[in-house]
Amino acid sequence: MAILVSKKVTKRFGGLEAVSKVDLEIREHSIYSIIGPNGAGKTTFFNCVTGFYTPEEGEILFKGRNITGLSTDRVTRLGISRTYQNIRLFKNMTTVENILVGMHPHLKSGLLGGIFRDRRTREEEKAAVEEASRLLTFINLKGKGDLLAKNLPYGEQRRLEIGRALGSKPSLLLLDEPTAGMNPSETQDMVSFIRRLRDELGITVLLIEHQMRVVMSISEQISVLDFGVKIAEGTPQEIQKNPHVVEAYLGRGAASGLGQALTAD
């Protein structure tokens, strides 16, 4: 059963097609990776899914529902959540507050509730803080809840960003290079953490990733984008053998490290 289907999605900037007729089908409870050289349109594709961009052509279906062109906030409320390549936390808010903002779609209290603090609001707030504390434990940031997000070390900021995304109880989580800038042991922790997301929380994970070791060890399915076009799709084994992929990486020499990783494995 596919949770997210993209049909011939195309996004142009001026004359440039950043994403060109991309077809994807992501099975529920899978870990799916999109790889490709820099500027291949991966993040643009994420932005199309989350409604930050409206694609010029094509359709995006989430759980069978057409979400093309919906505003970002509505997409999130349907159950898609994301993180960013360059961490974008609410820096001057505390860790808990970041998660509480992430829980926005499930909090009902508004202006009057906020002013009068009636029983329903109080109970909702209490439940939310408890839930946030559970999430803090899950992302292993317990005891750091009242620190400002900007004061956390890098790796913890990455985890907090995922924790914030989890706040909305998503069924599909988009992670944009979650291991960027991490050392090997941090990367290993992140890989097992992403597995836990799927295994313990039952979340489908769509991943943009540059580190081939991560991609090959974690993904069930992989798509390769190059200049906005999907040039290959398949299991890690299939991708490694695919001549187009090797050519895309090696031929241009843009990311030779990736090419080595491909052949080495």
Closest approach, Cβ 29 to other proteins, in A, equals 23
Residue whose CB is less far from other proteins, 124 or 186 = 124
Residue whose CB is less far from other proteins, 117 or 241 = 117
Which residue in the block uniquely carries the two structure tokens 């052509």? 57
In the 8-state DSSP scheme, what is residue 150? G
Q: Interface with other proteins includes 5 (CB under 8 A)?
A: no
Non-local (6+) Cβ contacts of 104 within 8 A are 167, 168
Q: Interface with other proteins includes 90 (CB under 8 A)?
A: yes
Binding region for other proteins (CB under 8 A) out of 29-37, 144-152, 181-189, 218-226: 144-152
Q: Interface with other proteins includes 114 (CB under 8 A)?
A: yes
- Footprint of other proteins on 55-74 (CB under 8 A): 66, 68-73
State the Cα–Cα distance between residues 259 and 250, nearest whole angstrom: 6
Q: Interface with other proteins includes 20 (CB under 8 A)?
A: no
54-90 b/e (C-beta count within 10 Å ≥ 16 → b): ebeebebbbbeeebbebeeeebbebbbbbbbeebebb
Binding marks (x or -) toward other proteins, 240..259, rule CB under 8 A?
A: --------------------
User: ∠ CA 120-122-124 to the nearest 5 degrees?
Assistant: 65
Contact with other proteins (CB under 8 A) among 33, 50, 204, 211: 50
Is residue 34 within 8 A of residue 207, CB to CB? The reply is yes
State the Cα–Cα distance between residues 165 and 46, nearest whole angstrom: 14
Tokens of 193: 């953490």
Closest approach, Cβ 19 to other proteins, in A, equals 12
How many residues bind other proteins (CB under 8 A)? The answer is 63
Q: Interface with other proteins includes 127 (CB under 8 A)?
A: no
State the Cα–Cα distance between residues 252 and 199, nearest whole angstrom: 37
Contact with other proteins (CB under 8 A) among 9, 19, 35, 100: 100
Tokens of 177: 């290079």
Residue whose CB is less far from other proteins, 209 or 218 = 209
